[in-house]
């Protein structure tokens, strides 16, 4: 039996090695274990405090970087950086580790690890061995154990050249140029994790299978909404969008939505406030709007996100708020512009920039409005829709009012990325 297990493991390892080596994207296997231990010894807690500490003490970032163990590099990574060996690549990284760009990127990576984020992605300006600079996206992925903790000893770092996207910015083909990157992350995860299960179904225990399936579900749902955003954005006239308008009791609607909402990421907390409103909406498009707003908050907002739905006059108001920093002053008017990336996006994952414009368009198609504001240290997106006609406000929908009186009445969920 031991021999059979060892043989199966060897086959799996060879398959992975073959895929890793032949991957067209630059990939690096790295051990972050010493960095994880180093983080636990720091005299700060919380992402905001950690970011301030690191940026005020760049020597600490350099020290952490020196603890990174690069174990393997594929051919694509060597070609991308224009070096001939792993040793040369390591030397190159060490040489550029004190640059402002490298310090900023690695500081965000350290914060992601401290937040137990299994997937980290950030856009930055990279430099090849010959000194040429290029726009790139750095991604880091960690497996998780049965308890949802990161396995830091098996990190996989990817570097993707996106210079061709920058070259197309401002052109009529900007959307098409960006689609390839937007779809790459979920498609890569779907293909990779499903292939692992298909090739070695007996190589995972039940907890590992459940975790892998959860990741597949998360990426599949994200891919679905990316495609739906593209389809909505491609329609010149949303007045032809088929809508099934009906009373929607928000307590029940949000409760059901939370059961299969796979967008929640590690380090983020989603909670529901009072939800007594009954909106007049198309349920599919209402879910689409809320998914886009929650995804935006998860990607760019703070660590606490709240949804509530209240009645105000003759309108129903659903809000998604977070405790993040919000948009830079003077950039507020751009929030609903298609493919507009305000200053903050330089340090965030690449995006088509369609989620918020699509959400507003869908709100308008249902006769409502979507607005952005900052109030009391919170970023607030407010969806305003009509209340149902009096004759349509069915008693079973109205009874939802008592289901959610305050945030404590609904569970608070934390789901690993």
pLDDT tens by residue, 290-331: 988 988 888 788 888 999 999 999 899 999 999 988 877 777
Using CA atoms, how far apart are residues 307 and 381, in angstroms rounded to an integer? 10
Give residue 261's pLDDT band: very low, low, confident or very high (50, 70, 90). low
Q: Report the candidate in 120, 160, 150, 121 with the shortest Cα–Cα distance to residue 35.
A: 150
Q: What is the pLDDT of residues 211-254, one digit of tens each?
A: 667 666 656 666 665 666 666 655 656 677 788 899 999 998 88
Give residue 383's pLDDT band: very low, low, confident or very high (50, 70, 90). very high
Burial status of residue 33 (CB atoms within 10 A of its CB: 0-12, 13-18, 19 or more): middle
Q: Is the pLDDT of residue 169 over 70?
A: no
Using CA atoms, how far apart are residues 279 and 95, in angstroms rounded to an integer? 58
- Percentages helix, strand, coil for the chain, rounded to the nearest 5? 50, 20, 30
Q: What is the pLDDT of residue 10?
A: 45
Share of the chain above pLDDT 70, in %: 66
Long-range contacts of 283-286 (CB under 8 A, 24+ apart): 283/244, 283/246, 283/248, 283/253, 284/244, 285/241, 285/243, 285/362, 285/365, 285/366, 286/248, 286/253, 286/366
Kindly state the DSSP code that residue 405 receives in the 8-state scheme: S
Q: What is the pLDDT of residues 326-371, one digit of tens each?
A: 877 777 777 887 644 444 444 444 444 677 888 898 999 999 999 9
Q: What is the pLDDT of residue 310?
A: 94
Greater pLDDT, 20 or 27: 27
The backbone torsions φ and ψ at residue 372, rounded to the nearest 5 degrees and listed phi first, read -120, 140
User: For the residues 250-265, what does the mean pLDDT come to?
Assistant: 70
Q: What is the pLDDT of residue 186?
A: 59
Lowest mean per-residue pLDDT among 92-96, 258-262, 287-291, 392-396: 392-396
Name, of 43-52, 183-192, 197-206, the range with top average pLDDT. 43-52
383, 318 contact by CB (below 8 A) = yes
Name, of 93-102, 200-209, 345-354, 370-379, the range with top average pLDDT. 370-379
Give residue 13's pLDDT band: very low, low, confident or very high (50, 70, 90). very low
Using CA atoms, how far apart are residues 158 and 151, in angstroms rounded to an integer? 17
Name the CATH superfamily housing domain 22-161: PAS domain (3.30.450.20)
Greater pLDDT, 63 or 349: 63
Q: What is the pLDDT of residue 410?
A: 35
Q: How many Cβ atoms from other residues are within 10 Å of residue 305's Cβ?
A: 22
Instruction: Quote the strand ranges of 169-314, DSSP E.
Output: 245-249, 269-275, 278-282, 304-312
Greater pLDDT, 221 or 266: 221
Q: Give the alpha-carbon dihedral of 380, 46, 219, 379, to 10 degrees.
A: 10
Q: What is the pLDDT of residue 74?
A: 87
Share of the chain above pLDDT 90, in %: 19
Q: Is the pLDDT of residue 1 over 50?
A: no
Q: What is the pLDDT of residue 208?
A: 73
69, 34 contact by CB (below 8 A) = yes
Instruction: Quote the strand ranges of 62-163, DSSP E.
Output: 69-73, 119-127, 133-141, 155-161
DSSP one-letter string for 353-401: S-HHHHHHHHHHHTT-EEEEEEETTEEEEEEEEEPPPGGG--HHHHGGG
Give residue 11's pLDDT band: very low, low, confident or very high (50, 70, 90). very low
Q: What is the pLDDT of residue 4?
A: 36
Q: What is the pLDDT of residue 168?
A: 46
Q: What is the pLDDT of residue 397?
A: 45
> Per DSSP, what are the bridge partners of residue 125?
135
Q: Report the candidate in 208, 211, 283 with the shortest Cα–Cα distance to residue 244.
A: 283
Q: Is the pLDDT of residue 140 over 90?
A: no
Q: Report the candidate in 299, 301, 303, 291 with the shortest Cα–Cα distance to residue 383.
A: 291
Length of the chain: 417
Give residue 398's pLDDT band: very low, low, confident or very high (50, 70, 90). very low
Distances (CA, A) of 396 to 100, 280, 303, 393, 402: 59, 15, 35, 9, 11
Domain 238-409: which CATH class? Answer: alpha beta
The backbone torsions φ and ψ at residue 169, rounded to the nearest 5 degrees and listed phi first, read -60, 135
Greater pLDDT, 265 or 70: 70
pLDDT, averaged across the chain:
74
Q: Give the alpha-carbon dihedral of 43, 49, 55, 56, to 10 degrees.
A: -60
Measure the N-to-C terminal CA separation of the chain; round to a whole number of Å: 35
Where are the chain's structural domains? Answer: 22-161, 238-409
User: For the residues 145-168, what does the mean pLDDT come to?
Assistant: 76
Q: What is the pLDDT of residue 241?
A: 75
Using CA atoms, how far apart are residues 206 and 327, in angstroms rounded to an integer? 43
Distances (CA, A) of 8 to 12, 151, 195, 414: 6, 22, 15, 34
Q: pTM score > 0.75 for this model? A: no
Using CA atoms, how far apart are residues 346 and 125, in angstroms rounded to an integer? 10
Greater pLDDT, 157 or 45: 157
Q: What is the pLDDT of residue 366?
A: 92
Kindly state the DSSP code that residue 85 receives in the 8-state scheme: S
């Amino acid at each position: 039996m031991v021999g059979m297990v060892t043989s199966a493991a060897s086959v799996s390892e060879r398959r992975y090695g073959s895929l890793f080596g032949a991957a067209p994207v630059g990939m690096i296997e790295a051990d972050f274990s010493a960095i994880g231990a180093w983080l636990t010894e720091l005299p700060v807690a919380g992402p905001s405090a950690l970011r301030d500490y690191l940026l005020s003490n760049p020597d600490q970032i350099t020290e952490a970087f020196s603890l990174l163990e690069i174990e393997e590099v594929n051919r694509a990574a060597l070609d991308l950086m224009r070096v001939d060996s792993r040793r040369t690549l390591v030397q190159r990284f060490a040489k550029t580790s004190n640059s402002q760009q490298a310090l900023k990127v690695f500081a965000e990576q350290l914060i992601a690890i401290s937040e137990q984020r299994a997937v980290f992605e950030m856009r930055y300006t990279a430099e090849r061995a010959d000194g040429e600079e290029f726009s790139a996206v750095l991604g880091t992925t960690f497996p998780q154990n049965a308890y949802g903790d990161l396995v830091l000893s098996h990190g996989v770092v990817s570097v993707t050249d996106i210079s061709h996207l920058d070259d197309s910015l401002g052109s009529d083909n900007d959307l098409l140029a960006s689609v390839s990157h937007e779809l790459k992350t979920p498609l890569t995860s779907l293909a990779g994790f499903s292939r692992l299960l298909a090739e070695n179904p007996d190589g995972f225990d039940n907890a590992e299978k459940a975790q892998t399936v959860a990741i597949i579900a998360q990426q599949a749902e994200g891919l679905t909404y990316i495609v739906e955003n593209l389809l909505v954005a491609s329609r010149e006239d949303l007045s032809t969008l088929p809508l099934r308008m009906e009373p929607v009791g928000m307590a029940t609607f949000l409760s059901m939505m939370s059961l299969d909402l796979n967008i929640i990421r590690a380090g983020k907390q989603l909670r529901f406030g009072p939800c007594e409103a009954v909106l007049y909406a198309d349920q599919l498009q209402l879910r689409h709007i809320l998914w886009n707003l929650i995804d935006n908050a998860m990607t760019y907002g703070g660590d606490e996100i709240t949804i509530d739905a209240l009645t105000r006059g003759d309108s129903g108001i659903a809000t998604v708020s977070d405790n993040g920093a919000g948009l830079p002053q003077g950039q507020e008017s751009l929030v609903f512009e298609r493919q507009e990336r305000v200053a903050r996006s330089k340090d965030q994952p690449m995006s088509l920039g369609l989620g918020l414009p699509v959400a507003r368009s869908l709100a308008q198609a249902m006769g409502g409005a979507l607005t952005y504001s900052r109030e009391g240290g919170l970023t607030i997106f407010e969806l305003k829709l009509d209340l149902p006609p009096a004759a349509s406000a069915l008693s079973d929908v109205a009874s939802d009012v008592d289901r959610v009186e305050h945030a404590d009445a609904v569970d608070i969920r934390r789901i690993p990325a």
